[in-house]
Amino acid sequence: MADRIRNVLFLCTGNSARSIIAECVMNRLGSGKFKAYSAGSQPKGSVHPYALDLVRQLNYDTSALRSKSWDEFAAAGAPVLDFVFTVCDNAANEACPYWPGQPMTAHWGLPDPAAVEGTEAEIRFAFADTHRMLHQRISIFTNLPLASLDQIALQKHLDDIGRSSIARGVEKV
């Protein structure tokens, strides 16, 4: 892959929490190498308040965050995508639009923090844990030697990141 900024799209159904957090993390960790976007198959229309609060507390740039449809990235004039990662199981099972650029894809499914019920502390912990898992996966991804990997090896790495027990927060016994 040529030495240039690569476009990455994170997908989730509602584009209100996981994909939004992933967009923030990638734009920070991949600065100068990657440009991240997020979208949803059925966008909620707003960023979840706990997701927004979390990324603000972690000093991420939130100025361009919004819940949007994945159709924006299949339309004429959309950024040509190099990678598309689904971060929820629902979006992974849906028929995706055609993505200009024939991006590499992988599923990096995570539990939905917006579905967690409990005390405010428990819910906020779920959002923080989602950030932790995404940060680990994206850190692994941004440190891959892309220029030295062929398509098959790169696809294996992308799939392995999504299956990584470390990145999911599961201890191997």
**Residues making up the chain, counted from first to last:** 173
Query: In one letter, which amino acid is 19?
Result: S
Any idea which residue has 């996966």 for tokens? 137
Residue 33 has pLDDT above 50, yes or no: yes
> Quick one: average pLDDT of 128-146?
96
CA distance linking residue 107 with residue 123, whole number of Å:
24
pLDDT in tens, 49-81: 999 999 999 999 999 999 999 999 988 899 999
* Token pair of 55 as six digits: 């990324």
Other beta carbons less than 10 A from residue 89's beta carbon: 15
Query: Greater confidence, 92 or 39?
Result: 39
Three-state DSSP state, 117: coil
Identify the pLDDT of residue 93.
Answer: 62
Q: Which of 17, 54, 88, 138 is catalytic?
A: 88
Please say if 24 is a catalytic residue. no
pLDDT in tens, 86-120: 998 765 566 667 777 789 999 999 999 999 999 99
Number of helices followed by number of strands (H, E) in the chain: 6, 4
pLDDT in tens, 144-166: 999 999 999 999 999 999 987 55
pLDDT band at 16 (very low <50, low <70, confident <90, very high): very high
Query: Greater confidence, 4 or 169?
Result: 4
CA distances from 76 to 80, 84, 118, 124 (A): 10, 17, 43, 38
Identify the pLDDT of residue 173.
Answer: 30
**Are 135 and 114 a contacting pair, CB within 8 Å?**
no
Q: Beta partners for 104?
A: 83
**Are 7 and 79 a contacting pair, CB within 8 Å?**
yes
Alpha helices, DSSP H, located in the chain = 18-29, 49-57, 89-93, 120-142, 151-163, 165-168
Identify the pLDDT of residue 162.
Answer: 92
Q: Which of 58, 74, 78, 96 is catalytic?
A: 96
pLDDT band at 171 (very low <50, low <70, confident <90, very high): very low
CA distance linking residue 50 with residue 104, whole number of Å:
30
Identify the pLDDT of residue 106.
Answer: 93
In order of their start, the domains of the chain are 6-168 (3.40.50.2300)
Q: Which of 8, 9, 11, 12 is catalytic?
A: 12
* Token pair of 129 as six digits: 């844990």
